[in-house]
Structure 1
Amino acid sequence: MMRKLTTIERLIDGNITYRLTIEGALPVERLRAALDRVQRKHPALRMLLREESDGLYYALDAAGPVPLRVAICTSEQVLAGEIAREEASVFAPDEPLLRVAWLRTARGGVLLITTAHRICDGMSILTLARELLAGLHSDAPLLPYAPISPLDVAAPPGGPEERRQRMVAAVINGLIAAIPPSRRPPRHDTLRREWHVDAGLTAVLKHRCRVEQVSMHAALLAILDLALQSALGKRAPTRIDNPIDARRGRLAQLKDDMLFFGGGSFKIEVGCERGADLWERARDIYREMAGKMEQELLAIPGKYRFCEMLKPPSEHKLNAIVRLGDALSRNGNWNQFSFSNLGPIDLLEAQAPFRLEDFTLSVRSFGVRPLGLVAFALHGRLRFVFIGEEQCMSAAQVDALEQAFMGVLREQAAHRRREVEPAVTLAVD
């Protein structure tokens, strides 16, 4: 059985890789069995990508076993090379859109989970990681479910907005048709940076968020807003795009343990006039977030329906659109910056016979340019991963962003720290 990719699935072309540093042994036979069990549960892991004369299709229930590669890494250099190989490799047409590598080291190893972004978002891969790790020491059943696509979430045809949407889509399709195609693919020079704060400062921020009655996400958005303006000045993006996890009871079609490539997102304008200090700004953003999230969740079905009114650009046309973005926008990403918050990383059950020593991630795009920051918490410490390309921001600009971001955090640690957390000694790594 075949299903044609929707427009939005066509546009999402890239890899997401999660790196889990494990202290302890992972028996390969058990890892293989756990991976097979996870594949049997999730329909997206049993699909193959097929190119037909009229576009890209998914062949459902056509994939063989998920590839599992095991390598022994005798040095940090060998390990880094293996990781780079996994992150950059394009999925072959005859392979499932997931692959796993267990890179063994002296103390344990690094488990790499790489998926095609068009089937999985960041929260989906956390689900995969939990199920895979649990299967190494537990035989608890995983319940399969029916395949789901964006069309299952999209609003039915004939809604009150359809006439207006079709008019807008016709204009967009006309503009895209007028762009000359380019056979020359744009360069994608991946730029990744990671920084973190220690447990003391993380505790101060969490406590201050409770006192100020704002979410950690709102506080980090306020910090990012200031840091982008400080680091980039007139070249700062105009919007911060915040992906929303559409599961967690927000969309009836999506259960918490399903794989899906994404939901909606809400946008926060950069540089708006807000409160005088950081926490007034955070409260303003927090109030704004609540209304925008509710609006976006209601709008997701209509947006998915609208996307299907757009004609997917060809590969050569997409090359030209990316180059146009490089020329016309401030950052190669149409003046937008993404901020994703994965929350606390909690992947292991209490009875797991191994330990999650470290966690991080990377994104490699083969189409549109990625640009953003991913936040998460591990072992009580806030972590941040910048993901982008040199065509969007230079290494010097990323350095400036990190310094500005951490500068605001240091300022908050010093400001009234006795009132906030008198027992904590603060330091920033």
Structure 2
Amino acid sequence: MRQLMMVERIMYVDAKTPLNCVFTAKINGEISEENFRVALDKIQKKHPLLRSKIDKSKKYPVFVEEKEIAAIPLRIFERKTNEDWLSESEKEWYRIFEEAKKPLAQLVWVKGQHISEILLVMPHCICDGTSLVTLMREILAVLDDPYVELGSYQTFNSVNDFLLADFNLKKKKRKARFYLMMAKLFFLTQRKSKKRNLGKNYVIHWKLNSETSKKITEKCKANRISVHALLCSVFMNSFQEIKGKQAKRKVISPVDVRHFVPEIQQDHLFAFAPTVELSLQKGNQDILENSKYIKKDLLQKIENMEARELLWMGEQMHPIVERMISMLKSSNGGHDITLSNMGKINIPNDHKNFKVESIISPTVAFPWLNSNTLVTTTFNQEMDFTFMSNEDFLSKEDSVKIKNKAMDLLIS
């Protein structure tokens, strides 16, 4: 048993609000239902969070490992079109994982004669992007060979497990009390807004072929910029072009916490991803110059990031989590979009019994007012994008315009 971390509580939202990630792999070949059951059983035995439920009877919610947890459900849907995965993903956004003895995960098999899509569905409060990739890689490995062993690991008990010996608890507690007091004062001065995300959530999905994707990486190498910095630059510019004065010229980018806390291993489920805010240079509209500026700014912010302290400090903020959630649901935010570049996906293309044709970037329907989110992945030398928002905050028509403008800038 352990209490949900602050960020897990934010992503949990509450018992009635779904906030799920859906990660999709498209495969070519034959798979047996029996092997699916074996794969789901093995990942559940490996990962403690897949044997856990959320107990809401305490002051703050806690994860409790269930001794008699049910198997991870497999839902099979007959594949009729190439877009079935999309409509099934949208259904799964709204699944509530609250049934007694049922795990915090679901698998959907969009089953075709030769082509199938596998949709992994999990509440965001137990996973980040790396977790989704790990689970999909493990599922595919066991689907191909049911005798593959995945091992197991012990989960942490609290964020105190990640603190180093030189962590000055007395000094940090004073700092935390000050931050908590300032946060409470901030919320006291804020008028409660009745604005909410009531529009229809949507996703726009597209893929760049390997030739175009290669040109982008070569362009980045030639100009000594990162793909991530270029993506940030082109999307901020595109928001400014389409939204004019409403554009914020800022993005939020999550960073994999495992870079800073190696005890959280690559194949462990974990939900906390520290974020950095990145912006365009004042008075500069040049895409490449802004990319250089963003790359330098990002590297500096990552270098200065104290991820262990952030984890610990978050735990001191539990008294104001509900106010944070309320603000996310009603605030326009100070950024244009949350941009998550997951990079090259570490999943093999070829297996003995099937081929992974493509990976579709994760989709999610945030309940926040500003739910603008872009996720990008690269698999088989092809860049893939999912762009999500809701009609009340950003119309789908404007999203398409922003996407088209960004791709023009990216490829030019």
On whether the aligned pair clears a TM of 0.5, the verdict is: yes
Deviation at 1:377, TM superposition (A): 1.8
Q: 1:212 to 1:90 in 2, by over 3 A?
A: same
What's 2:177 paired with? 166
1:319-344 CA-partner distances (Å, limit 9, x unpaired): 7534541xxxxxx3343521111112
Q: 1:180 to 1:58 in 2, by over 3 A?
A: farther
1:344 and 1:378 in contact (8 A); partners too = yes
Q: 1:118 to 1:368 in 2, by over 3 A?
A: farther
What's 1:417 paired with? none
Letter of the 1:242 partner, please give it: S
1:106 counterpart = 2:113: yes
2:329 and 2:369 in contact (8 A); partners too = no
Deviation at 1:123, TM superposition (A): 1.4
Within the candidate set 104, 111, 123, 1:97 is matched to 104
| Structural mapping, 1:228-243, within 5 Å | 228-243=239-254
- Of 205-214 and 343-352, the range deviating more from structure 2: 343-352
2:220 and 2:230 in contact (8 A); partners too = yes
Deviation at 1:392, TM superposition (A): 2.7
What's 2:2 paired with? 3
What's 2:287 paired with? 278
2-side partners of 1:194 and 1:21: how far apart?
Answer: 14
1:28 counterpart = 2:37: no
Deviation at 1:409, TM superposition (A): 2.6
1-side partners of 2:282 and 2:295: how far apart?
Answer: 14
Deviation at 1:380, TM superposition (A): 2.2
SS at match of 1:135: helix
Q: 1:318 to 1:340 in 2, by over 3 A?
A: closer
Q: 1:278 to 1:168 in 2, by over 3 A?
A: same
2-side partners of 1:86 and 1:318: how far apart?
Answer: 25
What's 2:151 paired with? 143
Deviation at 1:130, TM superposition (A): 0.3
Q: 1:195 to 1:306 in 2, by over 3 A?
A: same
Within the candidate set 32, 36, 39, 2:44 is matched to 39
What's 1:59 paired with? 64
What's 1:213 paired with? 224
1:17 and 1:112 in contact (8 A); partners too = yes
TM-score, normalization by structure 2: 0.87
Unaligned runs of 5+ in 1: 326-331, 413-429
- Of 88-97 and 37-46, the range deviating more from structure 2: 88-97
2-side partners of 1:306 and 1:314: how far apart?
Answer: 13
Q: CA RMSD of the aligned region, Å?
A: 2.8
What's 2:403 paired with? 402
Within the candidate set 135, 142, 154, 1:128 is matched to 135
What's 2:273 paired with? 263
Letter of the 1:199 partner, please give it: S
2-side partners of 1:120 and 1:309: how far apart?
Answer: 22
2:280 and 2:294 in contact (8 A); partners too = no
2-side partners of 1:184 and 1:333: how far apart?
Answer: 12
1:188 and 1:365 in contact (8 A); partners too = no
Deviation at 1:52, TM superposition (A): 0.4
Deviation at 1:191, TM superposition (A): 2.4
Deviation at 1:121, TM superposition (A): 0.6
SS at match of 1:146: coil
1-side partners of 2:60 and 2:195: how far apart?
Answer: 20
Deviation at 1:119, TM superposition (A): 0.6
Q: 1:238 to 1:321 in 2, by over 3 A?
A: same
1:88 counterpart = 2:105: no
Deviation at 1:348, TM superposition (A): 2.7
2-side partners of 1:152 and 1:181: how far apart?
Answer: 37
Deviation at 1:278, TM superposition (A): 2.7
1-side partners of 2:319 and 2:29: how far apart?
Answer: 46
1-side partners of 2:83 and 2:310: how far apart?
Answer: 45
Letter of the 2:354 partner, please give it: F
2:10 and 2:321 in contact (8 A); partners too = no
Deviation at 1:76, TM superposition (A): 6.1
2-side partners of 1:127 and 1:345: how far apart?
Answer: 10
1-side partners of 2:351 and 2:35: how far apart?
Answer: 16
Letter of the 2:153 partner, please give it: Y
Q: Number of matched residues?
A: 399
Q: 1:124 to 1:396 in 2, by over 3 A?
A: same
What's 1:204 paired with? 215
1-side partners of 2:266 and 2:347: how far apart?
Answer: 15
Unaligned runs of 5+ in 2: 13-18
Letter of the 1:7 partner, please give it: M
What's 1:352 paired with? 352
Report the identity percentage: 22
What's 1:193 paired with? 204
Deviation at 1:146, TM superposition (A): 0.9
Q: 1:320 to 1:257 in 2, by over 3 A?
A: closer
Letter of the 1:19 partner, please give it: T
1:5 and 1:56 in contact (8 A); partners too = yes
- Of 73-82 and 135-144, the range deviating more from structure 2: 73-82
Q: 1:184 to 1:67 in 2, by over 3 A?
A: farther
Deviation at 1:289, TM superposition (A): 1.8
Letter of the 2:373 partner, please give it: G
1:50 counterpart = 2:55: yes
1-side partners of 2:7 and 2:253: how far apart?
Answer: 17
